[in-house]
Amino acid sequence: MNKTTVLLTLSALAVAGQLAAAGDITGTITLKGTPPKEKDITPLKDDPTCGKLHSELPTTHFYVVGSGGELADVVVSVEGISGKSTGASAPPAALDQRGCEYVPQILAVQTDQKIQIKNSDPVLHNIHDLPNPDSGNKEQNMAQMPNGPELSFAFAKPEAFLKFKCDVHPWMFAWVSVFDHPYFAISAKDGTFKIANVPPGKYTIKAAHRKAGVVTQEVEVKEGAPAKVDLALEVK
């Protein structure tokens, strides 16, 4: 083995070692209490063009909750990790406008990660993000024609539930959380989440829901071992 081969072998082992040492954090988010009834979006059903895209009266989706209290659309993140964004090289996140609604309405990305925005509707939309003025993120407002070219947004600073709206259709909203690290997930319909490849350490896990607020819990990721943390939010 020459010197170069030895060095390459050592660096390959180092990379393998790092991967093996990281652990996944998984768990389930549940909701305590009975959520309020979702609101009918009557202006959407009454809109001459958008209304045709819905056979039933559309409603808000504030609490997406299963029969056992499993709660979706919760932004789960690791606290105390910062400056680790890989957003610039990460695959883009997708945001669609379909049936004159944003799909999904809850999204999470890293700083500098592209959000590819698509218009699947036969109508004009405009994408207007409203960052917190103190966040350092940029407000943009761009029209998008029916089936027009995709637009690309990205945010430089972390921010929770950055609001997107459409000025044409006042019921259209999405909320994008921005992290400066890749250690976050959004709970699925069955309430489960998975945050992959977290370096070993003791952390606070934060679960944030747009209506039910925030809960936190401590967790330890041991070398190469999966960690489990279940969190419960309460109806607010």
What count of other Cβ atoms lies within 10 Å of the Cβ of residue 177?
A: 20
| Position among 114, 169, 181, 210 found at the interface with Cu ion (CB under 5 A) | 169
**Is residue 166 involved in binding Cu ion (CB under 5 A)?**
yes
**Is residue 168 involved in binding Cu ion (CB under 5 A)?**
yes
- Identify which of residues 34 and 141 has a Cβ nearer to Cu ion in the complex: 141
Q: Is residue 90 a contact partner of residue 183, using CB atoms and an 8 Å limit?
A: no
Name residue, tokens 């809960």. Answer: 215
Q: How far is the CB of 123 from Cu ion (least distance, A)?
A: 7
Q: Which stretch binds Cu ion (CB under 5 A): 6-14, 101-109, 170-178, 183-191?
A: 170-178
Burial 132-149 (b: 16+ CB within 10 A, else e): eeeeebeeeeeebeeeee
Q: How far is the CB of 62 from Cu ion (least distance, A)?
A: 19
Footprint of Cu ion on 183-202 (CB under 5 A): none
Cα–Cα–Cα angle for 41, 42, 44, rounded to 5 degrees: 75
- Identify which of residues 117 and 229 has a Cβ nearer to Cu ion in the complex: 117
**Is residue 125 involved in binding Cu ion (CB under 5 A)?**
yes
Instruction: List interacting residues with Cu ion (CB under 5 A).
Output: 125, 166, 168-169, 172
